[in-house]
Copies of this chain bind each other. A is one copy, B any other.
């Protein structure tokens, strides 16, 4: 991942409403929500939501799936992980013995809902 691409992704997330949108979609999982549902849940006018969603899309953080008149948006989990990797990459690689920092939290493995 390039520094400039990561900065674009971070810019996309660096906004209260867009961050709320993204986290809502992360919680939701692959199914996603229709644009109007997101707008309703977060109290955002449609044009404003569209503007923000486009930012997230441009950064590759969400995917879109058309379903009749609805467009369902969902989080791009691979992109999310790449971004997290980029931020934490090579943690302490230039440090000496003194670096005892845990560079990532304990992994949350895939959810295998009761089998």
**Residues of chain B with a CB closer than 8 A to A15's CB:** 7, 11
| Cβ-defined contact, B102 with A110, below 8 A | yes
List chain B residues, Cβ under 8 A from A26: 87-92, 103
- What residues of chain B lie closer than 8 Å to A88, measured between beta carbons? 26, 80, 84, 108
Interface class of chain A by DSSP: loop
With both beta carbons as reference points, the residue of chain B lying nearest to A112 in the complex is identified as B100
- Alpha-carbon distance between A99 and B27 when the two chains are bound, in angstroms: 10
Select A90's contact among B27, B99, B106, beta carbons within 8 Å.
B27
Contact status of A31 and B95, CB under 8 A, knowing A7-B14, A19-B10, A100-B112: yes
**Chain A: interface residue total (CB-CB under 8 A):** 54
Assess whether A113 is in contact with B97, with CB atoms less than 8 Å apart: yes
- With A4-B16, A11-B14 known as contacts, the answer to whether A87 contacts B80 (CB < 8 A) is yes
The answer to whether A29 has its CB under 8 Å from any CB of chain B is yes
For the complex formed, measure the closest distance between the CB of A8 and the CB atoms of chain B, giving whole angstroms.
Answer: 8
Provide the bound-state CA to CA distance between A89 and B107, in Å.
11
- Chain B minimum-CB-distance residue to A8: B14
